[in-house]
Amino acid sequence: MNLFTRLSNGWTIALNSFAVLKENKQLIIFPILSGISMILVIGSFITVLLASSGWDIQAFNDQSQVANYSIVFVYYLINYFVIVFFNTALVQCTHLYFSGEEPTVRKGLQFALSRIGAILSWAVFAATVGTILRILQDNLGRIGKIITGLIGIVWSIATFFVVPVIANENLGPIAAFKRSTELVRQKWGEGLGASFSFGLIHLVTIVALAIPSLALGYFIHPLVGIALFVLGFFAMVVILNAAKVIFISAIYFNINGDPVKHYNQQLADNLFREK
């Protein structure tokens, strides 16, 4: 199968992810809750840190490296926990939908709560890896940035299936990482096409938002244009994130032999092929 066919299949499957989301509009609440939670938690986190330093930003900046990297670790921990928690809820809802059951926000959240231990342990593991990479990047100069950039790419690929693995296999962080890597290694294929498709949709949407935002900013008021762009960008991020999670869920369930409603079976079978 040539590259063009793979990209075409990836594009089709990416669009099918939006079809699933369109049929289950309530699933959009999970990335919205994730974004709101991140804003509230990080905002509270920053407020506590500044208050503890007497609201003196200079005193905050003069902290030791150990303190600074401890803060980085906690930030990563919160970030990973919030994102994986709500993505786990979304994965469960897509599983219910693919199995012919009715997905609800309540069912998704209840399921995510049942996986709270696995989610927290993964957040600790991922935050540790992220902090180590940050330390390398800060202390090895340009070489460090190159090394951490390459490791970051490998990490993104290796953890492609981590959320559905945590949701459906309830594994610890090391086991979940190994399982995700195994699935990627065994079934890698048109995922590149779908990733390219999501990236293209992202780019087109930004351009489509920028034109009316600039027009409103020029003819009415700059704040109106900025407000339109910010709201539109937030909506785009929410929709794309939900569609990506649905896409990953569909591929995971397909390669594990589960039914995947709304997806062309031949395309789904070819999405990840064995080497």
pLDDT for residue 274: 42
Collapsed DSSP state (helix, strand, coil) of residue 258: coil
Classify the C-alpha dihedral 192-89-86-90 as positive or negative.
Answer: positive
- In this structure, the chain runs to a length of 275
Cα 154-158-162 angle, rounded to 5 deg = 145
- More confident position, 193 or 56: 56
Q: CA dist 110 to 19, 75, 106, 253, Å?
A: 25, 25, 6, 20
Confidence at residue 272, expressed as pLDDT on a 0 to 100 scale: 44
What percent of the chain has pLDDT above 90?
Answer: 23
Average pLDDT over residues 125-152: 87
Q: Residue 99 contacts by C-beta under 8 Å, 6 or more apart in sequence?
A: 258, 259
Q: Residue 190: its pLDDT value, please?
A: 47
* SS3 of the chain: helix, strand, coil, percent, to 5: 85, 0, 15
Checking if the pLDDT of 7 tops 70, the result is no
Higher-pLDDT residue of 165, 6? 165
How do residues 208-266 score in pLDDT, each as one tens digit? 888 888 888 888 888 888 888 888 888 888 888 888 888 888 878 877 766 666 555 54
Q: What mean pLDDT, rounded, does the chain reach?
A: 81
Task: Compute the distance between CA of residue 213 and CA of residue 232 in angstroms, rounded to an integer.
Answer: 9
pLDDT digits (tens, 9 = 90+) for 13-34: 677 788 788 888 888 999 999 8
**pTM of the prediction?**
0.81
pLDDT higher than threshold 60 for residue 191: no
264 three-class SS: coil
